[in-house]
């Protein structure tokens, strides 16, 4: 067992449940498309973020430490992608239209985790704080990846269900449009937090 398991779990809980690009997209998708159509997004986030943690854990973190410019490039690319998603959300049509599809897919959310500034920063902090390069490396790595995956699954499910719950209050098209605009604004506001 990891000696700092409670601290690790608390850190993962706080960082995964606080509002961020993944959680906002999950609420948007749950609200507009329901849980069934949101499931690929949820799976993409959980597996994608866990993959980021794993890849950093097996050695990429050393590259980030040696070449910090890579983090800046990821931040810029991730921000550009978030602006694109915010635009798509703002101008998406109502899910009452039978041909409306969720614009965010598994493949998008999986690979987005490698450009998601919040995900990359949190993963770097997690690995550098809770994994040691000694005889306990494999054990600690297993715990860090496992706990990260658990909280990624729980938080993305919670935010998706929150969006689905809020749908009950969508009594007209104007409410749905306003909700989507708010989600777009929150997504853009996430970008601002990456640079302050």
**pLDDT tens for each residue of the chain, 196 residues long:** 888 889 999 999 999 998 899 999 999 999 999 999 999 999 999 999 999 999 998 887 778 778 888 878 888 888 888 888 888 888 766 545 444 566 678 999 999 999 998 999 899 889 888 888 788 889 999 999 999 999 999 999 999 999 999 988 887 788 888 888 888 888 888 888 777 7
Task: Work out how many domains the chain is built from and give that number.
Answer: 1
Give the chain as a DSSP string. --TTHHHHHHHHHHHHHS--HHHHHHHHHHHHHHHHHHHHHHHHHHHHHHHHHHHIIIIIHHHHHH-THHHHHHHHHHHHHHHHHHHHHHTPPPTTSTT---S--HHHHHHHTTT-HHHHHHHHHHHHHH--SSTTHHHHHHHHHHHHHHHHHHHHHHHHHHHHHHGGG--SHHHHHHHHHHHHHHHHHHHHHHT-
Residue 87: domain span: 5-194
What pLDDT is stored for residue 142 in this prediction? Answer: 93
What pLDDT is stored for residue 98 in this prediction? Answer: 40
pTM given for the model = 0.85
């Amino acid at each position: 067992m990891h000696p700092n398991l409670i601290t690790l779990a608390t850190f993962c809980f706080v960082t995964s449940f606080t509002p961020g690009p993944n959680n906002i997209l999950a609420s948007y998708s749950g609200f507009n498309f329901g849980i069934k159509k949101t499931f690929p997004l949820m799976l993409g986030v959980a597996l994608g973020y866990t993959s980021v943690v794993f890849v950093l854990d097996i050695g990429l973190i050393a590259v980030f430490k040696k070449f910090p410019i890579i983090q800046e490039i990821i931040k810029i690319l991730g921000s550009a992608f978030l602006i694109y998603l915010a635009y798509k959300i703002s101008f998406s049509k109502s899910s009452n239209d039978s041909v409306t599809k969720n614009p965010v897919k598994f493949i998008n959310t999986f690979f987005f985790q490698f450009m998601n500034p919040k995900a990359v920063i949190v993963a770097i902090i997690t690995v550098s704080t809770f994994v040691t390069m000694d005889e306990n490396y494999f054990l600690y790595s297993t715990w860090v990846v496992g706990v990260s995956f658990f909280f990624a699954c729980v938080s993305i499910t919670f935010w998706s269900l929150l969006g689905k719950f809020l749908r009950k209050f969508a009594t007209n098209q104007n409410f749905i449009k306003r909700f989507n605009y708010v989600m777009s604004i929150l997504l853009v506001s996430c970008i601002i937090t990456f640079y302050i």
